[in-house]
Chain A
Amino acid sequence: MSLELTDLSKSFKDDTVLDGVSLHVPEGKTLVLFGPSGAGKTVLLRLIAGVIEPDTGQIKISGMDVDGVAPEDRNIGMAFQNFALFPHMDAHANIASPLTAQKQDKSAIQAGVQALAKLLKIDHVLGHKPKELSNGQKQRTALARALAGKPKILLLDDPLRNVDAKLRFEMRLELPRLLSDQNATVVYVTQDYKEAMAFGDEIAVINGGVVQQIGTPEQIYLTPANVEIARLFGDPVINFLDVTPQKDATGVFALISDKRVDLDAGYSHVVGQDCSLGIRPESVLFVPEDHPGAVPVTVEAETPLNEKTVNLCLTARGREIMASRPSGTDGPAIGAAFVTIEAANALLFDKLTGALIEPTDIAVKGKVA
C-alpha cells in the first residue's frame, strides 16, 4: 500500500510542529524521516497512525483518504521509541495484541507469536513482563508487536535509539532484511545518518516542521540542500571554508591559503559572492609539495576511526580542515604537509542563506563537451 501525505500541518496551541508537509512513499518502499529532535518526526508518525488529527492536509493510504478513520482500522503497525509495551501483560500477550484484535483463534495466535519471537530471538523470554526484559528484548518485543498484525504500513519511531551500541549494530544489519521480508511500506524515523543511509530507499530531511530535502541517500549525501544537511550527513563532519569564487581566462577558482583551487566552470554566476566551500574529509588528499594546486597545511593530530583515519590539519590562516583516508594507507607525519582538494566533489553554499549553489546547466554542457 502506498502512503501519500499532502500539505499536512499541525499546531499545538501556538506551537507549529508541522508546516505543510507533503511526502509520498510508494508501496513496499522505505522512507526515512531524518531530523534533529523536536523536528516533528514523531508527530508526523502519529498523524499517519491516526492517534492525533492534522489541522489541515490529507493522508491517503492506498489512494484512500483516511480522514476520520480510527487508528484501529488503518492496518498500521508501529514501534515506539519508548517501546510503549503494555506493562501488565507478558511479552507473549504484548506481541499477540494485534492478533487478538483480528480475532484469530488461539492456535493461530500461538503460532504467529512463536514464529516472530524466534525470528527476533526473544522466544525464551515470552513469559516475562516488560519490566523483566532488558532494553534489547523490549525493543525486539515492540518490533515483534508492530510486525505481528502483518500491517501493510509500518511506522518505526527511532526503534534503535534506546538500545546499546552492539545491538544497534546488529539490528542495522538485520532490520533491512526483516523489513523487506514483510513487504510493507515503511516510514522509519531516526536521528542517525548511518541508519538513514542504510535503511532508506528515500530520505526526507525534516527540520522545524518543514521538509527540507527529499532524495535517495546518495542524493542527500552528494548534493545536500543546505549547510545544515551537509553537516548532519557524514562522519567526520564536512569541512567548510569561507571563499569568494574568482574567474579568469582558464576558469572559475577559489583561493585557499593563497593557492588556487579550481571549481566547476558552472559557478561563474557566483563570482565575487561570499560563499562557503564544503569539502568532505575524504576529498582532502595528501600530496607531495610539487603536486599542482597543493595547499600547505600543518598536520595537528591523527585519529584512527576503525576503517578510516582522520587527520586534523590547520591551513596557513589557521582554519581547521579534517582529512580522512582509509586506514592502513600512508599518511603524513605531524607537521608540515600538502593537500589537494578534489574540486569535483566540492560543494558551494551561499554564505548568507546556507543554501546549496548548483552549477549552471551551461557549464555542465560545457564540461561534457
Chain B
Amino acid sequence: MQTTSTFESVLRGMAITVIILFFMFPIFWIFLMSFQTNETILRVPPSPFFEPTLTNYRSLISGRLEGSTATLEIAFMSNLYNSLFLSVTSVTVGLLLGVPAAYAFARLKFRGSEDIAFTLLSFRFAPPLLVLLPLTIYFQQIGLADTYGGLIWVYQLIVLPLILWIVRGYFEDIPADIEYAYRIAGHGFWATFRKIALPLAGPGIAAAGLLAFIFAWNNFIFALVLASADKQPVTVGALAFITASGINYGQIAAGIMLSIAPTFALALYAQRYLVEGLSLGAVKG
C-alpha cells in the first residue's frame, strides 16, 4: 500500500490552497464587490468588511442605473435573456448538426471525409474579425443582419467545429464490435445510432455541449458587429456600464455575477455526466 507521510499531505494541502486562492480569489472579490457601493469599493485600503447592499442587483434587474448625476436606462436583463437564447439555440442547432456529422466522420470513411472534417476545424483558425467584414455585407444584403437567425448561424462557426471534433473522438472510442453486435441482432442503422452510439458517446456529447455553450456565451465580437441593441448579449451589453459619468464598479460586479451564473450552474450540473460512465466495462481489451 502506498503511504503518504504527514509532511507530504501538508505540502499537498498547501499547494491546493494556493491554487484555489489564485483562481477563486478574483471571483470571490467580485462577489463581495457586487454587494457594495462605489464608495466602499474604492476606499483605501480595501477591506472585506462592509455593510452589504442589494442596490446593484436591484437596479440591474429593474434596468435603471442610479448614477451620481442622472438615471440611466440599461437593458441588462434583456441582454441576459439574449445571451441565454442565443447560446442555447446555437448549441442545440450545433448538436443537431454536429453529432450526426461527427458520427459520419468517425464511422463512415468516405472519400474526402478527412478533408471536410479538417476544413470545418479550420474555421477556428481564422480570426473572427477577418470573417466579419464580408459577413456583415452579405448579411445586410440577404437580410440576416441584426436577426437572431443570422447570429445563430454565425455562432455555428464557434460551436460546430468544437462539437464535431470532440464528439467524433468519443464515437471513435466506441468499439465497432458493439455496434456490429446490435446490427447483427437485427436492428437497423438508425436504431443502432440512437440506442448504442448516442448513449455511449453521451458523456462526450455533454462535454462538447457544455464547452460550446461557454464559448457561445462568452462570444463578444460577432454580436458586437452583427447585433443591434435589442439583440445584444451580456458580453456586449456590459459596455453600457462605462458611462460618461464614470464607471459603476458595484453594478459591473453584480452584472458579472449574474452573467456567470448560468454557465456556473450548468457546469456544476453537467460535471456529474462528464465523470460518470466514461469507462466502458463491457469490452475486454
Which residues of A line the B interface, CB within 8 A? 46, 49-51, 70-72, 74, 76-78, 80, 82-88, 97-98, 100-102, 129-132, 135, 138, 145, 148-149, 162
Please, which residues of chain B bring their CB within 8 A of the CB of A49? 180, 184
Stretch at the interface among B45-53, B142-150, B251-259, B277-285: B277-285
Q: Are A86 and B186 in contact (CB under 8 A)?
A: no
Contact, CB under 8 Å: B181 / A145: yes
Known pairs A82-B283, A87-B200, A87-B281; A101 contacts B186 (CB<8 A)? yes
How many residue-residue contacts, CB under 8 A, span A and B? 91
**25 intermolecular pairs with C-beta atoms under 8 Å apart:** A50-B184, A51-B183, A70-B183, A72-B186, A72-B188, A76-B184, A80-B177, A80-B180, A82-B283, A84-B175, A84-B177, A84-B178, A85-B178, A86-B178, A86-B196, A87-B178, A88-B199, A97-B187, A100-B187, A101-B185, A101-B186, A101-B187, A131-B282, A138-B282, A148-B185
State how many angstroms separate the Cβ of A355 from the closest Cβ of chain B.
37
Contact of B185 among A87, A131, A145 (CB under 8 A): A145
In the complex the two chains form, is A149's CB within 8 Å of B181's CB?
no
Q: Give Cα A162 to B175, complex, Å.
A: 17
Q: What count of chain B residues pass the 8 Å CB interface test?
A: 26
Contact of B284 among A71, A72, A82 (CB under 8 A): A82
User: Which residues of chain B in 163-211 are interfacial with respect to chain A, using CB atoms and an 8 Å cutoff?
Assistant: 175-178, 180-189, 191, 196, 199-200
Cβ contacts under 8 Å, A71 to chain B: 180, 183-184
Which of B187, B196, B283 is A72 in contact with, Cβ under 8 Å? Answer: B187
B185 A84 Cβ-Cβ under 8 A? no
Asked if A84 and B283 sit within 8 Å, CB to CB, the answer is: yes
- Shortest B281–chain A CB gap in Å is 2
Q: Which residue of A lies closest to B178 (CB)?
A: A84
| B94 smallest CB distance to A (angstroms) | 24
Given contacts A70-B189, A74-B184, 14 further A-B contacts (CB under 8 A): A51-B176, A51-B184, A76-B184, A83-B283, A84-B178, A84-B283, A85-B178, A87-B200, A88-B277, A100-B187, A131-B279, A135-B284, A145-B185, A149-B186
Bound Cα distance A35, B191 (Å): 35
- Select one of B181, B196, B200 contacting A80, CB under 8 A: B181
Asked whether A87 lies within 8 Å of B282 as measured between CB atoms, the reply is yes
> Closest 6 interchain pairs by CB?
A131-B281, A101-B186, A130-B282, A87-B282, A84-B177, A85-B282
- Shortest CB distance A369–B (Å): 56
Tell me the bound Cα distance from A130 to B279 in angstroms.
12
The answer to whether A82 and B177 have CB atoms under 8 Å apart is yes
Measured between beta carbons, the chain A residues less than 8 angstroms from B181 are: 78, 80, 84-86, 145
Q: Which residues of B contact A80 (CB under 8 A)?
A: 177, 180-181
Closest A-chain residue to B188, C-beta based?
A: A72
Q: Which of B246-280 contact A (CB under 8 A)?
A: 277, 279-280
Bound CA–CA A130/B178 (angstroms): 12
Query: Can you name the residue of chain A whose Cβ is closest to the Cβ of B202?
Result: A88
A102-B177 CB under 8 A given contacts A88-B200, A88-B277, A130-B281: no
Quick check: A87 and B280 within 8 Å, CB to CB? yes
Docked CA distance A111–B186 (Å): 19
Which residues of chain A have C-beta atoms less than 8 A from B178's C-beta? 84-87
Q: Smallest distance from the beta carbon of B201 to chain A beta carbons, Å?
A: 11
Cα distance, A149 to B282, chains bound together (Å): 21
Return A183 CB to nearest CB of chain B, in Å.
19
Contacts of A97 in B (CB 8 A): 182, 185-187
A83-B185 contact given A46-B180, A49-B180, CB 8 Å threshold = no
Interchain CB contact under 8 A, A72 and B183: yes
A104 to chain B, nearest CB (A): 11
Question: Could you tell me the distance between the alpha carbons of A87 and B187 in the complex, rounded to whole angstroms?
Answer: 17
Residue of chain A at shortest CB distance from B174: A87
Among candidates A46, A51, A77, A86, residue contacting B282 with C-beta atoms closer than 8 Å:
A86
CB distance from A129 to the nearest CB of B (A): 7
Which of A49, A87, A135, A138 counts the most chain B CB atoms within 10 A? A87
Report the minimum CB–CB distance from B257 to chain A (whole Å).
38
Kindly state the separation between the CA atoms of A50 and B175 in the bound complex, as whole angstroms. Answer: 17
CB closest chain-A residue, reference B196: A86
Within residues 130 to 175 of chain B, which ones have a CB less than 8 A from any CB in chain A?
Answer: 175
Most chain-B CB neighbours within 10 Å: which of A85, A130, A132? A85
Residue of B nearest to A141 (CB): B282
Residues in chain A near residue B196, CB distance under 8 A: 86
CB neighbours (8 Å) of B187 from chain A are 72, 97, 100-101
Which A residues are CB-close (under 8 A) to B199? 88
* A98 (CB) vs chain B CBs: closest residue: B185
Q: Using Cβ atoms and an 8 Å threshold, which residues of chain B touch A100? A: 187
Q: Which A residues are in CB contact (< 8 Å) with B186? A: 72, 97-98, 101-102, 149
Complex: chain A residue closest to B281, CB-CB:
A131
Known A84-B177, A84-B178, A87-B200; judge A72-B184 contact (CB<8 A): yes
Q: Which of B175, B177, B282 has the most CB of A within 10 A?
A: B282
Measured CB to CB, the closest approach of chain A to B114, in angstroms, equals: 14
Q: How far is the CB of A130 from chain B (nearest CB, A)?
A: 4
Nearest CB on B from A51, distance (A):
4
**Bound-state Cα–Cα, A46 to B184, Å:** 10
Bound complex: CA A97 to CA B277 (Å): 21
The reply to whether B284 and A83 contact each other, CB–CB distance below 8 Å, is yes
Expressed in whole angstroms, the minimum distance between the Cβ of B186 and any Cβ of chain A is 3
Question: Are A82 and B184 CB-contacts (below 8 A) given A88-B277, A131-B281?
Answer: no
Query: In the complex, how many angstroms separate the beta carbon of A69 from the nearest chain B beta carbon?
Result: 12
Q: Which residue of B lies closest to A80 (CB)?
A: B177
Tell me the bound Cα distance from A102 to B191 in angstroms. Answer: 13
Contact residues in A for B284 (Cβ distance below 8 Å): 82-83, 135, 138, 162
Residue of B181, B189, B279 with most chain A CB atoms under a 10 A cut-off: B181
